[in-house]
Structure 1
Amino acid sequence: MLPSRHGQESKPSKITEKSAGIERAAGNKMCGIALLVSGIRIDLSALSIDSVSSSSKIHLVFSLDDLKAALERRGPDSLGTKKLLLSLHSNNSISENSWVSPVNEESHVLDDGSNISESFAELVFLGATLQLRGVAPLSQPLVDSSGNILVYNGEMFGGIEVGSDDNDTEILMQYLGNCCSCRSQEHKTTCDFNGQGKGSVADVLSVIKGPWAIIYWQESSKTLWFGRDAFGRRSLVVHWPTLEDPRFLLSSVSPTSPSLQDSDFEVENGTNGIRFWEELSCGIYSMSVDATKSDGRFLGDIKKHEWTNVMLKELIEWERVSIEPEPTQLDFSRSRTLNAEHDINSSSSFSVLAQNVLTALRESMMRRVSLHNIYQARKETVPVAVLFSGGLDSMIIAALLEQCLDPNYEIDLLNVSFDGESAPDRISAEAGVKELRRVAPLRRWRLVHIDADLSKLTWETKRVLSLINPANTYMDLNIGIALWLAARGEGWTCEEHDNGIDEDKHVNYTSGARILLVGSGADEQCAGYGRHRTKYRHESWLGLHEEMKLDMQRIWKRNLGRDDRCIADSGKEARFPFLDEDVIRTLLDIPLWEVADLDQPSGKGDKKILREVAQMLGLHNAAVLPKRAIQFGSRIARESNRKNFGSNRAANQASAGSVVINVPSYFS
């Protein structure tokens, strides 16, 4: 049992299947974690991954210092390291007495595993802490009295009850410390551990609501646990052992690639390149470490575990009960929507379904910003900012934030443009902030104009190229640059006076907000992409459902890992209100034709349920805006197409968004 912050023994709180509410813990958050494992021969057969040659002439080697540098550049408040040495006696016995697992901070770290003794293995844990809550500093990795080690990059928005005076990472450490040491893939909760029935590590992680990535050493079973939440809202990239580099590495972000300094090396370009890192698939993994009798070496057996939370598994499967409407159901839905459009000021015009979505979104927002009492300790005037295009999703987020955040705080709206005041997102952002001021005139809204010139972002582009890795297309880079600039928050705003805003006077401004709210997940869940309309046109409702399901089940790989890395690089934490577990559940409970009706025109039928939510919030102008992706709304895609393909037409013919970047050509 760990001591509490007040020096008294604290007991684990109750794990619940229900939300823990909006009461939040005091403590610190991580802005990155990493692990380097040397001296263990790893068996990947259970994952259908082979330890093979990378088939590249270039042998990349990332050291502990490289991992530290990648985390330090995020601007953490602290960076901690714990090194675990596993050794065997000379008789190669595999009895428990033959192990020694001292934790220290000075042992030698091997770069490539080639010079390690067969009798030793080393695990190095790194944790970069960004203090967002509380006034008492807490550094990770955490080590308890049993020798367990934890680095955790996540938020608990429910599932494990955490008291208002408790630290959620410490509470998690207590739960994990009480887990059974059973290594079986088919764990049973009746396992006898210390004379009691205990849950497994997978049981504990399966009930956490919110984004997380974790690396945990369970000393009693000599097992390493690692993974990321079911939707991949926190980044974790992995290097599986290869013949050239037999080490096993995990990291929130990849170190800067040598390819960015070597103009003769083409990185990750089809089969001729090299892929050192890959996104770790969402889920819970374990690596049990044993000593083999034959050669006295360490063997690590990696397995992937099933989620044990039934409700979470249902969300992952993403099955909707009502997909294809009867003609009468569709007619009724369209008639009700039409009546609501003609009577937008009447609350009775809005459906119960839209009311449910609004309630779920408001509670999601409260869970993500209900820390106003401890923001005061940091004396921040702007604790939370919004990635803001003025479009439907960001307008809903801004309006809900206004309702949930203490009225004394200002709200920064971060808008990126590569075409000054002419970019579509800048125009809609200007209109959007006017509508927000009309809806909430007492709140101080600050539109932060972040202007950029792609041709002048050479150093910044190289940095973002490293951040998006292993993503590697022009679309990934364009989105990554826009997000990275937004997270920095460096731009200008109009001068404000007691009598109002002087739009003719501009002042430089940098947002100090350390939490950035992002609208990810809205399009995937509510049919906001053009491909959804195409799929519906060809395969009707069932085809639309399958396309949306595919989007949700691959959002971790296509979007969230990349986005988290780009935002966290500036010491900011991305939070995704639309990807709250309860919001996902609420939207899945709604018939598909009430979520979207793609027989209707753009700006009306796509994301239909969210447009009704916007009307309920008084955002009448935003409720009819068409979908526009950030790379197009900010016009970075246009500038990128001109630079790399000569023109937009040539880029479209080459399907530029999906083209893999040739690094030397890009910077030539």
Structure 2
Amino acid sequence: MCGILLWFDKKAGFGDRLEEFNEGDVLEQRVEDALPMTYKSHYIGNRIIPLIANRGPNYSSLRSIQSCNTMWFSSILSLRQPFTTQSMCVGDRFILQFNGELYNEEIQFNDTQYIASKLMEQPNDIYGIIRELEGEFAYTIFDKQEQCIYFGRDSIGKRSLSYQCEDGILTIASVTGHNIDAPEYENCLAGVIYMFDILTTTLDTTTTIQSQFTVTSKEDPEQLSLNTTINELYETLSLAVNKRIESIHPKHIENSPIAILFSGGLDCSVLVALICQHLTQKNKQIVIELLNVAFENPRTGLQPCDAPDRKLAIQSATFLQELFPTITIHLVEIDVPYDTYLEVRPHVIDLMYPKQTEMDLSIAIAFHFASGGVGFIKDKTLNERIPYTRHGIVLFSGLGADELYGGYHKFNNKSTDELVIELTRQINNIHDRNLNRDDKVIADNGVEVRYPFLDVNVIKYSTESIPITFKTNKLILREMATQNLSLGFIALEPKRAIQFGSKSAKMTKDGNKNGTDLLK
């Protein structure tokens, strides 16, 4: 995970400068000193850059080049060797920023260096290079020769990226916060390759990585192809999980657990089981951390231990521990007192901007605390909970399963044609509805989240090959969880949204609030 900021302004007078910050450095004053005089105390320096820095705690740098009229700020969470600093000068022509993970088979080591090598080999085919990238990413590429800036997100939109283009000034950032005195930022659309012409200060948004996904309308009411489809989905999803395990550098995979955002339900338990299968096959003794969050809710009077997701998580974690006895599985119980919720609430509202509804907050704040990972684990010797803080810096999420396999309750009574239309809309809109918000609040804890269900091959198979009749109440995923993963009762668990399972929604006695209401 990294954070990226690019700021182009012909009038700024940035000068030539490179400032590097190692882990633990206090950067605010040095950033302030590096800004042009007219931009001292500017919101980019004192508001956006600290948010970018939180995303990559291992290293950050500020670079400015007078002839380019541009400043770059990059932060890095190092997961692949060799360690590669950013922003990265690629020959004399390009300056690259990359945030995310690539899973192209030919990548041997660092994925940022892989892109750099492609730029050196194919300097006149930037669009082609970007289209070939497979993974979860956002990027900026400054082409000095052509006087253009390219930027965007992967075809699903799994990494956040926003931009603001006004009066010839272009700003691109992983996270911006809400700055009252600043122009409005727009979230980049998934899969659009944005190209900004420096000479004309115009922005082109017409080029895309690929066309949108379309859910097939084919049916199989007699379920003749069910077993074949189950096995094909299992193999495709298992491969997506394995890619996301294998691309973690051995230094981290040996010394740091893999963490899963864990409600105890079907989607996340499927991922836990697949991860454990791969680790068992590889005979790797790695700790798995199941991050479960629950809130003290003054409206209901419930404590975290009473939350539905906490009760289910305990049951499911126990089941998984028995299913995979050679893997050490810790259920990390993250309790959020109401006072702590109130303290962190303004920061989460700031992070998730421009999302600003009650529902967005209740989801975002649950993910923020869950990914922070400060909680308790059960000490079996003492038979009591002891304090524990997450060690894993790579998190897995089950996001995407509901959109692909018909998990939302509102889908249950739809006709076949209506379900096809709705699922197509859901998967193509997930970048705006979920991913931009979730990435901002999770990465703020200096971790990286990976989405196996949103692997492009999983999406293509699920949308093009699985009959629509297998997508009522996630039939196909439940059958796979039973037949291929032996998940027992977990495979039958009903869908429950995180804000209701963790009790992060409707925290006060104001009963008139709806999820779509704007925050006050």
TM bucket, shorter chain: 0.7 to 0.9
2:102 match: secondary structure: coil
1:355 and 1:317 mapped to 2: Cα distance?
22
1:351 and 1:392 mapped to 2: Cα distance?
19
**Partner residue, 1:397:** 271
**Partner residue, 2:25:** none
Aligned letter for 1:125? W
Unaligned runs of 5+ in 1: 1-29, 42-59, 87-100, 102-121, 182-199, 260-273, 291-298, 338-349, 598-605, 663-668
Unaligned runs of 5+ in 2: 13-40, 296-302
1:636 aligns with 2:520: no
1:393 and 1:556 mapped to 2: Cα distance?
19
**Partner residue, 2:106:** 161
Aligned letter for 1:400? L
Shift of 1:560: 0.2
Shift of 1:210: 0.8
**Partner residue, 1:277:** 185
**Partner residue, 1:234:** 159
1:625 aligns with 2:493: yes
Quickly say closer, same or farther: Cα 1:225–1:217, change in 2 above 3 A.
Answer: same
Quickly say closer, same or farther: Cα 1:61–1:81, change in 2 above 3 A.
Answer: closer
CA contact (8 A) 1:256 1:463 kept: no
Quickly say closer, same or farther: Cα 1:591–1:444, change in 2 above 3 A.
Answer: closer
Q: 2:292 aligns with which of 398, 415, 424?
A: 415
Shift of 1:381: 4.1
Shift of 1:147: 3.4
Q: Deviations over 1:255-308 (max 9, x none)?
A: 46469xxxxxxxxxxxxxx87222111210111222xxxxxxxx2121124336
CA contact (8 A) 1:151 1:214 kept: yes
**Considering only CA atoms, is the larger Rg found in Structure 1 or Structure 2?**
1
1:307 and 1:493 mapped to 2: Cα distance?
46
Aligned letter for 2:261? L
**Partner residue, 1:177:** 120
Q: 1:562 aligns with which of 437, 441, 462?
A: 437
1:239 match: secondary structure: strand
Q: 1:221 aligns with which of 123, 142, 146?
A: 146
Aligned letter for 1:619? L
Shift of 1:378: 7.7
1:496 aligns with 2:389: no
1:155 match: secondary structure: strand
1:467 and 1:230 mapped to 2: Cα distance?
23
Q: 2:393 aligns with which of 511, 514, 526?
A: 514
**Partner residue, 2:16:** none
- Matches for 1:78-157 after TM superposition, within 5 Å: 78-86=59-67, 101=68, 122-134=69-81, 136-157=82-103
Q: Percent identity?
A: 28
1:207 and 1:304 mapped to 2: Cα distance?
19
Aligned letter for 1:525? L
Shift of 1:359: 0.6
Shift of 1:470: 1.0
Shift of 1:380: 1.9
CA contact (8 A) 1:391 1:622 kept: yes
2:325 match: secondary structure: coil
Shift of 1:413: 0.3
**Partner residue, 1:115:** none
What TM-score do you get using the length of structure 2 for normalisation? 0.87
CA contact (8 A) 1:77 1:130 kept: yes
Q: Deviations over 1:54-91 (max 9, x none)?
A: xxxxxx962334332112233521111221323xxxxx
Shift of 1:40: 7.5
Shift of 1:607: 0.6
CA contact (8 A) 1:128 1:140 kept: yes
CA contact (8 A) 1:69 1:255 kept: no
1:541 aligns with 2:512: no
1:611 aligns with 2:472: no
What TM-score do you get using the length of structure 1 for normalisation? 0.69
1:426 aligns with 2:310: yes
CA contact (8 A) 1:413 1:446 kept: yes
Shift of 1:371: 4.2
**Partner residue, 1:289:** 198
Q: What is the RMSD of the two structures over their aligned residues, measured on CA atoms? A: 2.3
1:75 and 1:458 mapped to 2: Cα distance?
26
Moved over 4 A (4+): none
CA contact (8 A) 2:55 2:76 kept: no
CA contact (8 A) 2:178 2:353 kept: no
